[in-house]
Structure formats: structure tokens, C-alpha cells
Amino acid sequence: MRALDLDYMLGLVPVILGYVPLTLFMAVVAMACALVLASLLAVERVVRVPGLDWLVVLFISFFRGTPLLVQLFLFYYGLPQVIGFLTQINGVTAAIMGLTLHFSAYMAEAIRAAITGVDRSQWEAAQSIGMTQGQMMRRIVLPQAARIAAPTLVNYFIDMIKGTSLAFTLGVTEMMGATQKEASGSFLYFEAFLVVAILYWIIVETLNQGQKQLETHLNKAYAR
Amino acid sequence: MIRVRGLTKRFDGTAVLDGIDLDIADGERVVVIGPSGTGKSTLLRCLNFLDRPNAGTIEIGDVSVDAAKATKRDILALRRATSFVFQNYALFANKTAKENIMEALVTVHDRPRDEAERRALEVLGETGLAEKADSYPAALSGGQQQRVGIGRAMAIGADLMLFDEPTSALDPEWVGEVLDLMRRVAEQRQTMLIVTHEMQFAREIADRVVFMEGGRIVEEGPPQEVLEAPRDERLRRFLRRVS
Ligand SMILES: Nc1ncnc2c1ncn2[C@@H]1O[C@H](COP(=O)(O)OP(=O)(O)O)[C@@H](O)[C@H]1O
Ligand SMILES: [Mg+2]
């Protein structure tokens, strides 16, 4: 066993930190898109639009039923072969698309369950004052479902941040890709991957703290 | 003027409302009494289309709906002409007392926010809850929640206010304040259709009492007749049980 090269590790920290913005950019954009898509899918699952329901069920089943890495390869390497205008697709875009679709399928289920968890009386009160379906969803049901789903959704966001590391397989130099390059230059694989692991860990722990504050905020209305 | 004809609602083939005919004049206060499971809630819910009637016509103000061919637009129009006070209050849990009252004004009736806010504060004043404007429902007592519920229904100035046992879920200590507020609403000549088991209150407030049983109106008339000199045997039995 050899000693860890601590100087190398310390020197590597700022290098990898430089790629944190790209990692977070991909995660935040994919999360925002996935939230919107998942909400639409979830609302559809609850109200069951005839002719659309089976498509949504199929979508959710496929993106939950296949590995994220396979989906990313399908988008980046596969789709451009069959769809012409996608030849220009770059790794970052493909990664964001893949993460969005993959996680929206999971999040749709979480949001659907949360919508179902909103008390029936809340729906009826909204209907009784003459709200349209859309108004009822946007103003009453989804905000309350958000509170129920929030802890689960934050967990998916954390999974998503870790999932961005797969973008390096599409040639994107994000945290993982940068580490890979550094390590293959220095041959200090253990040190390099330990540094990147710790950086991911710190980001995730920071988010866990944020989650507690978010929950306090969302529960404000419900505190006695 | 409210005119209901042949209102029928079936659950699993059983007629829970069996052809209800009911006229209510503007400003009239009608109290519905009857044993439980007799269709009183269903009647109110059908008037608001929370339950969809199988047949019959409903006319409220200038809105006229034939249940058998009611469109989405008809249903919204009918709901906007009525307001509903629920037994379990059903305040929007994600909104403050003030926002609960503003919601219908802003979202449904397209009033400007500042006007809606003024109206909400005015109504909260009438319900005696001005200082609770920014409290969320979870922080209010049952009686306070129901007063906000009534305020929410008052604010939109509906042609007909529906009350489904508004005091039945309350601890006895809060019943009085809710009934007091309903008396004040009644003094404003608001048209009201009230399901309640509070017989003393019915006697005081009602222009007319309607006794329902088995999905039908069995007897109706001024409170002194229906409550003091009931003709139908089922009504007599019911009154002996509740008094
Ligand atoms: N959603 C429903 N599905 C099936 N049966 C129902 C439903 N709602 C009410 N009922 C039945 O209709 C009858 C009348 O109910 P309801 O109108 O609540 O009576 P009341 O308010 O007079 O106590 C009861 O027998 C009840 O079980
Ligand atoms: Mg009832």
C-alpha cells in the first residue's frame, strides 16, 4: 500500500470545481424541464384523457423500465442516425434530454400519488366556486401536492445530479469527465476519483440541508 | 328566483333523489330537514353539480340547466351562481383566511386583486375574524374555519347559498358563533337553502321548512306548521326523535 498523494488531491480540487457549474447547469435545467413534464404526465394520469392515457402509461413504463445509460446512448448515438435534424445534437443537450425524460417518468408517479393524496374536500371546494379543471389543478391541488411530493422530488434531484456524471460517456467534460482526463494523465486514479466523490458528496449534503429548509417553508401553512 | 323540476339522482340504480320539485323566491330562507341518508346532501350537491343529476332541470337566476344535457359551460355557470358551505369547512389548506375569500373573486370572477382584497377584508370584518386575515386554516378553530367558509360563500354574492349541515362537525362550543353569523347573512335577505338538525335555529330563521324522506319532499310549509303541527306520520316520528 502506498500513501495518498495529498498535494495532488488538493491541487485537483480547484480544477474539478471549475466543472461544478456545468454539472449543476445540466441538473437544474433537466430538473426544471422534468418537473413541468412530470406534472403534465401526472395530471393526465389523474384525469385520464381518453386516447392519451395509454401513451402516457407507455412513456412512463419505458423510461422507468430501461437503464438511464441505455437511454442516453439511444439519444446521443442512436437517434441522429434515424432523425436527420438531430445530427447537430451535442452531448450536453442529449444528456439534458435523457435526464429530463428518464426522471420525469419517475417524478410523474410521485406527483400522481401526491395529487391523489390531496383531500377530496379540496377538489370539491374548488369545483363549488366554479373553477375550471385547470384552475383547480394549478391553484389548489398542485400546490398542495407539491408539499406532499417535495421530499421525494428533492431525492430525485439528488439522483439527477449524480446521474449527470453519465454525461461523460457522451463526451461531455463535466465533473466526472474532467476527473477522468486528469486521472489518465497522472495515473493517480484513486486520488482523483476520491476527490470527485467527495465533491459530489458535499454538493448532495448541502442539498439535504436545503431540503430541510424547503420543508419548513412548505409546511408553514399547515403548522398549528 | 330558483326553480327545480324533476331533479333525479341515482347511485347504482337506486334513486337517492326521486324527482324533486322546489321553488325558492329571492331572499327566501328554506331549511331542509329529514333523517340521515335521505338525500339532503345529494340535493344540495346536485344543485351545485358536485354530484351530477341524472335528470331534471335547474333554474337559478338567469342560468338554466337541463341535467340530462348539461355542458361544461352550463355547469360552471350554475356553480358561479351558487355558493356552498361544507360540513367539514373545506377551506383551501394552502391559502390564508383572506386568500380563501379572495380566490373565487380573482380566479373565477376576474376581479382585480386590490378590489378582491378589500372585499375579503370587509367580509372578514363581518365574520368577526379581521385579525385572522393572514392565518392559515390549520391555525384556526373549527368555528373560525366555518366562519371563513361562510365568508368565502358570502363574498361572491351568489344567487343562492347552500349550507350542508354547517354546524354538525363542530364542537358544541363553536356552534353558537356559526349560527349567529348565519343569522346575519339571513338578515341581508340572501337566498339560502340550509340543511340542518338545529330545530330551534330552523324555527327562528326559516321562511319555509322542507321535510325530506326517501329522496322525496314529503311535507313543506312555514315552520310553525311543519314543526308545530306536522301532518305526515313520518315527519311526526322524525320530530319526536330530534327534539
Ligand atoms: N357517492 C355516492 N355513491 C353511492 N351512494 C351514495 C353516494 N353519495 C350518497 N350516497 C347514498 O345516497 C343516500 C343519500 O345520501 P345523502 O344525500 O348524503 O343523505 P343525507 O345528507 O340526507 O344524510 C345514502 O343512502 C347514501 O349512502
Ligand atoms: Mg348529509
| Three-class DSSP labels, chain A | CCCCCHHHHHHHHHHHHCCHHHHHHHHHHHHHHHHHHHHHHHHHHHHCCCCCHHHHHHHHHHHHHCCHHHHHHHHHHHHHHHCHHHHHCCHHHHHHHHHHHHHHHHHHHHHHHHHHHCCHHHHHHHHHCCCCHHHHHHHHHHHHHHHHHHHHHHHHHHHHHHHHHHHHHHCCCCHHHHHHHHHHHHCCHHHHHHHHHHHHHHHHHHHHHHHHHHHHHHCHHHCC
Going across the sheet that includes B208-213, the strands are: B82-85, B160-164, B192-195, B29-33, B208-213, B216-221
B197 with B219: CB under 8 angstroms? Answer: no
Model ipTM over 0.95: no
CB atoms within 10 A of CB B229: 9
Cβ-Cβ contacts under 8 Å, A129 against chain B: 79-80, 83-84, 103-104, 108, 152, 156
| B-interface mutation test, from A121, A129, A139, most B Cβ less than 10 A away | A129
CB atoms within 10 A of CB A218: 17
**Contact between A129 and B139 using a beta-carbon 8 Å cutoff:** no
Residue B129 CA to ligand 2 center (angstroms) comes to 27
**Contact between A144 and B94 using a beta-carbon 8 Å cutoff:** yes
Which residue from B79, B88, B94 is facing A140, i.e. has the nearest CB?
Answer: B94
Give pTM, 2 decimals. 0.85
> What is the interface size between A and B, counted as CB pairs within 8 Å?
71
d(CA B28, CA B2): 10
**Which residues 126-185 of A are in CB contact (within 8 Å) with B?**
126-132, 135, 139-140, 143-144, 147
pLDDT at A213: 87
Q: How many residues does chain B have?
A: 243
Q: Residue ranges of the alpha helices (H) in chain B?
A: 40-47, 72-80, 97-103, 113-126, 142-155, 172-187, 199-205, 223-228, 233-242
Angle at A119 between CA A118 and CA A124, to 5 degrees: 110
Give the model's confidence band at A206: pLDDT under 50 very low, under 70 low, under 90 confident, else very high.
very high
Give the model's confidence band at A214: pLDDT under 50 very low, under 70 low, under 90 confident, else very high.
confident
For B66, the enclosing helix (H) or strand (E) is strand B63-66
Ligand nearest to the CA of B210: 1
pLDDT at B43 over 80: yes
Cβ-Cβ contacts under 8 Å, A127 against chain B: 48-50, 79
- Name which residue sits closest to atom 24 of ligand 1, judged by CA: B37
Give the model's confidence band at A195: pLDDT under 50 very low, under 70 low, under 90 confident, else very high.
very high
Q: Which residue of B has its CA nearest to A222?
A: B138
d(CA B76, CA B121): 26
pLDDT at A175: 93
φ, ψ for residue B22, nearest 5 deg: -155, 130
CATH number of A6-222: 1.10.3720.10
Query: A83 or A207, which is more confident?
Result: A207
Which residues have CB under 6 Å of ligand 1? B 11, 16, 34, 36-42
Arithmetic mean of pLDDT, B8-28:
96
Ligand nearest to the CA of B214: 1
Give the domain ranges of chain B: 84-157
Beta-bridge partners for B31: B194, B209
**Contact between B50 and A126 using a beta-carbon 8 Å cutoff:** no
pLDDT at B56: 97
Give the domain ranges of chain A: 6-222
Beta-bridge partners for B7: B20
pLDDT at A75: 87
Cβ-Cβ contacts under 8 Å, B52 against chain A: none
B220 to chain A, closest Cα gap in Å: 27
Nine-digit cell at B4?
Answer: 327545480
Residue A224 CA to ligand 2 center (angstroms) comes to 29
User: B87: which residues sit within 8 A by CB, 6+ positions away?
Assistant: B41, B164, B165, B166, B168, B169
A28 to chain B, closest Cα gap in Å: 26
Q: What is the pLDDT of residues A76-99, one digit of tens each?
A: 988 878 877 666 788 999 999 999
- Name which residue sits closest to atom 9 of ligand 1, judged by CA: B42
pLDDT at A86: 63
**Which amino acid makes up residue B17?**
L
**Contact between A128 and B83 using a beta-carbon 8 Å cutoff:** yes
**CA separation, residue B164 to residues A159, A166, B40, B99 (Å):** 47, 57, 8, 23
For B221, the enclosing helix (H) or strand (E) is strand B216-221
d(CA B141, CA B176): 13
Residue B50 CA to ligand 1 center (angstroms) comes to 13
Q: What is the pLDDT of residues B187-234, one digit of tens each?
A: 999 999 999 999 999 999 999 999 999 999 999 999 999 999 999 999
3 state DSSP class of B174: helix
Ligand nearest to the CA of B40: 1
